């Protein structure tokens, strides 16, 4: 069991009145992994900021799918604000990095190459961390209305780092497959 999976199990066992649901949590993790891979794709777009819009749309779709799995009402406007606060409060380094890599694409040749190589990993990892945060929150009985970014700050950071490792491995596996 991974550290993050153990954290989900621990939280669901600790929260009063909430029973663990390993099958639903596993299905949610599968959703997160799928959308994290999709989030890597816009990073190769050569146009600055269009990639960030596409990544945001992918993250919204992931959260919609996870919330449906947990029976939580999804409101696009509310979720946009929450995602903004999540990335703003403990993901500024993540959001700033993604913005910087996207902006690099405006520079001819070297800038575009650097942005296209780095942004997919940041996008995939931030999507992975965001999804894991909401799995943890929904599994412990939370809703979008009860979400408090400060309570999951450390977990976001931990899962972002796991996501970077996972996305780098996926990118390397893809390179190896085409070599």
At residue 29, the pLDDT reads 95
At residue 21, the pLDDT reads 86
Contacts of 50 (CB under 8 A, 6+ apart): 42
At residue 11, the pLDDT reads 43
Mean pLDDT for each consecutive 10-residue tract of the chain (179 residues)?
48 46 92 94 76 88 96 89 71 50 50 60 90 93 89 87 87 72
Contact (CB, 8 A) for 72 and 138: yes
At residue 35, the pLDDT reads 96
Greatest alpha-carbon span in the chain: 56
In whole angstroms, what is the distance from residue 40 CA to residue 146 CA? 29
In whole angstroms, what is the distance from residue 166 CA to residue 43 CA? 16
Cα-only R_g, the chain: 16
pTM of the complete model: 0.76
Contacts of 152 (CB under 8 A, 6+ apart): 133, 136, 137
At residue 13, the pLDDT reads 35
């Amino acid at each position: 069991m991974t550290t993050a999976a153990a954290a989900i199990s621990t939280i669901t066992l600790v929260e009063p009145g909430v029973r663990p649901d390993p099958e639903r949590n596993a299905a949610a993790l599968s959703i997160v992994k799928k959308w994290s891979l999709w989030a890597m794709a816009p990073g190769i777009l050569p146009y600055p900021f269009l990639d960030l819009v596409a990544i945001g749309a992918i993250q919204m779709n992931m959260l919609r799918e996870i919330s449906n799995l947990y029976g939580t009402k999804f409101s696009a406007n509310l979720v946009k604000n929450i995602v903004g606060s999540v990335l703003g409060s403990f993901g500024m380094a993540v959001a700033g990095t993604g913005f910087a890599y996207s902006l690099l694409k405006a520079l001819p040749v070297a800038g575009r190459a650097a942005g296209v190589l780095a942004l997919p990993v940041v996008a995939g990892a931030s999507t992975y961390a965001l999804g894991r945060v909401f799995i943890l929150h929904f599994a412990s009985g939370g809703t979008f209305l009860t979400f408090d970014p400060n309570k999951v700050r450390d977990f976001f950071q931990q899962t972002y780092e796991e996501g970077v490792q996972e996305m780098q491995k996926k990118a390397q596996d893809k390179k190896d497959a085409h070599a």
